[in-house]
Amino acid sequence: MKSIWMKRTPKFKINKDDSIIEEIAKIRGIENVQEFLNPSNRNLFHPSLMKNIDVAVNRIIQALQNNERICLSYDSDADGITATSIMYKYLKRYTDNICYIYGERNNGHGIAKMIALDVNDDKQRQRNEENLQRIKESDLIILIDSSSNDVEACYYIKQELGKDIIILDHHIIERENPYVIMVNPQQKDCEYPNKHLSGAGVVFKVIQLMEEILQNFDVFDYIDLVAVGMYGDVMRVDVLENRYLIMQGMKNIKNNGFLQALKDNKVNLKSVNSNTLGFTIVPLLNGVARMDNVKLAIDFLLEDDESKVKEIYKQIKELNNSRKRKQNIILSDYESYVVENNKVMIVVGDNFDKGFNGVIAQKLASEYKKPVIVGKLHKGWISGSCRSYGGFKMKSFLNELDYVEAIGHEEAFGVSFHESKLNDLITYVNENMETFVSKNIIYFDLEFKAKDARRYLEPIQQFNYLCGNGFPKITVKVNDLMVEERVIIGKNNDTCKIKTIDGIDLIKFNVNEEYANELGFFNIINVVGELQLNEWYNFALRKKISTLQVVMEDYKRI
């Protein structure tokens, strides 16, 4: 599909004497650009604003003082894994009387799934029996990044087993849960201003308040884990509190697992940015979770022995390579089920892998420019993942139907409904939902020629240091580049590199060998993409080499 290039309309009027920094800020509608680029601890809200946090903190401190047994639960994604690791490592400084439980991603989220015994899978039943036993042996249960809506399971743990429960979560609350101490900024009467914290952010707030009382440790010892959890769960990065937390984490990587991953990928600690989190660290945690080996990710973050961390990382890397191969096969298989003529793409199969439904739905939504449901058919029920598109509030839309269960975030959530309702659902969305026009629109912020690229580089890098949900990367259009050479590179021959006579290299990842094969020497092209500085050490010349490059989204031959 041919892409349409559109220059962003500035939110504020640009003046001739504005600097490039000021110009970008006005394009994106940023009023205080220095605060946006350099948020400080003044942008943090005090934890006490969060409902019930004081009650939760006092209960945890009581458990520490009385040497009570504390049990934590891990949720099986990057946010849940980092959030629980923060709490576990922090509490271990005060007590050894602590344990944790977990469930695999394919078995679902929340405490109800972790202790259910009426399951067919022997391995899951055995682990759930162990989870339940650890709960019975504990006094205080802390459920992290999940379980706000698991009312029946919480009733059982509280009323039947007599255990106190604290929930530290950030997901939308859809059912009243009177059996727990709930700390969740999504509570209707919670006064905490930032509703865009992840589970790791909520845990950070809890230990921050605990240390105001106990005053023994620096909670910023765990800020790298906070950053990975926040970014991994795609929290908004235009919220100043989130920006501060994530930036501090990127500047202070301490976790041995993260350090090993950066070392293996030859990432300098001084050059860590949001791309590092999104493409180097987060996929490691989510990848092993999708392969139903979340314990490996837990060990990776909790282990302090460097030699053991190296061994765990080796296993994680091998597992993730297997995951990538499996994901490509699954995506190819799923695409054979695609029906394009509905307003929502619903892809259903009886042999689908639940652990990959979310990532496949996201890829299909990006490719086809419409919301996507990917579900597995099992015993008459379709269950899976939905990813919205274009900001449409898909979960609220589906929750209007009494035969559809949609749980999670507004644009990324789990969904289930009976097979007999599939046609009803398709009819409903086609009749009641707005049409998504499948246009591949690429928005760019700045436009210039190659000779001006150096002047734009440093300001662009300042903004692209942290970009993501709520603040997409600064994209540029570079005009009138003359092609010198086109080559296909990479272990899998899936990267196209175009050298230009103008001194800017153009890079396109994840393409086939035919990409841009029309281009030859002296062709003139315009490109849109991200302007970067590519640096490496040339051992033959014994010096560092720096070249400008554009990671391309698209090109057009003139």
Pairwise CA distance, residues 455 & 478, whole Å: 13
Q: What is the pLDDT of residues 329-378, one digit of tens each?
A: 888 877 777 777 889 989 888 777 777 888 889 888 888 888 999 998 88
Paired tokens of 450: 């190659």
Phi, psi of 192 (to 5 degrees): -70, 125
**556 and 440 Cβ atoms separated by less than 8 Å:** no
pLDDT tens digits along 458-475: 999 999 999 999 999 999
pLDDT higher than 80, residue 540: no
pLDDT band for position 233 (cuts 50, 70, 90)? very high
- Alpha-carbon distances, residue 489 vs 58, 417, 525 (angstroms): 57, 45, 21
Would you give the distance in Å from CA 233 to the centre of its chain? 3
Rounded to the nearest 10 degrees, the angle between the axes of helix 306-335 and helix 357-368 is: 50
- Residue of 296, 341, 338 lying closest to 319 (CA atoms): 296
pLDDT value of position 437: 59
Euclidean distance between CA atoms 165 and 140, whole angstroms:
6
The predicted pLDDT at position 392 comes to 87
Phi and psi, residue 503, nearest 5° = 85, 10
- Give residue 454's identity as a one-letter amino acid code: R
CA geometry: angle at 116 spanning 124 and 114, to 5°?
Answer: 65
381 beta partners: 378, 418
CB 170 within 8 Å of CB 201: yes
Q: Is the pLDDT of residue 210 over 80?
A: yes
41-65 residue pLDDT tens: 999 999 999 999 999 999 999 999 9
* Average confidence score pLDDT of the chain: 93
Report the C-alpha gap between 488 and 498 in whole angstroms: 9
- Which long-range contacts (C-beta less than 8 Å, at least 24 apart) are formed by 161-164? 161/135, 161/136, 163/135, 163/138, 163/139, 164/59, 164/139, 164/140
Q: Can you state the percent helix, strand and coil of the chain, rounding each to 5?
A: 45, 20, 35
- Alpha carbon distance 135, 158 (integer Å): 11
The CA-based dihedral angle spanning residues 448, 452, 455, 458, taken in that order and rounded to the nearest 10 degrees: 50
Sort 34 into a burial class: Cβ within 10 Å, 0-12 / 13-18 / 19+: exposed
Q: Which domains does the chain have, with CATH numbers?
A: 3-37+440-557 (2.40.50.460), 46-243 (3.90.1640.30), 337-432 (3.10.310.30)
Looking at residue 492, its pLDDT comes to 80
For residues 218, 219, 222 and 228, what is the CA-based torsion angle, rounded to 10 degrees? -140
- Alpha-carbon distance of 277 to 294, in angstroms, equals 19
Predicted local distance difference test score (pLDDT) of residue 441: 84
CA distances from 233 to 32, 101, 205 (A): 26, 21, 17
- Of the pLDDT bands very low, low, confident and very high (cuts 50, 70, 90), residue 34 is very high
Cβ burial of 138 (10 Å; 0-12, 13-18, 19+) is buried
Say what the pLDDT of residue 121 is: 86
Question: pLDDT, tens digit, for every residue of 252-284?
Answer: 999 999 999 999 999 999 999 999 999 999 999
How many helices (H) does the chain have, and how many strands (E)?
19, 18
Contact 532, 509 (CB under 8 A): no
Copy the structure tokens of residue 395.
Answer: 């979960």
pLDDT at 1: 54
Report the alpha-carbon distance of residue 259 to residue 502 in Å, rounded: 37
Q: Helix 199-214 to helix 240-251 angle, to the nearest 10 degrees?
A: 80
CA nearest neighbour of 471 among 145, 281, 246: 246
Residue 439 CB contacts under 8 Å (≥ 6 apart), including other chains: 4, 369
Indicate the pLDDT class of residue 100, thresholds 50, 70 and 90. very high
Cβ neighbour number for residue 394 with a 10 Å cutoff? 27
Q: How many residues does the chain have?
A: 558
Q: Is the dihedral of CA 276, 281, 284, 287 positive or negative?
A: negative
The whole-number pLDDT of residue 530 equals: 97
Query: 245, 274 in Cβ contact below 8 A?
Result: no
> Residue 548 pairs with which residues in a beta bridge?
504, 533
The number of angstroms, rounded, from the C-alpha of 204 to the middle of its chain's C-alpha atoms is 18
Q: What is the tens place of the pLDDT at every residue in 511-529?
A: 888 999 999 999 999 999 9
pLDDT at 506 over 80: yes
Cβ neighbourhood burial of 79 (10 Å; 0-12, 13-18, 19+): buried
> For 76-93, how does the pLDDT look when each residue is reduced to its tens digit (9 = 90+)?
999 999 999 999 999 999
Q: What does the pLDDT average to over 435-457?
A: 87
Instruction: Establish how many alpha carbons lie within 13 A of residue 286's alpha carbon, considering only the half-sphere containing its beta carbon.
Output: 22
At residue 174, the pLDDT reads: 87
**pLDDT-based confidence at residue 436 (cuts at 50, 70, 90):** low
For residue 439, pLDDT over 70 is answered with no
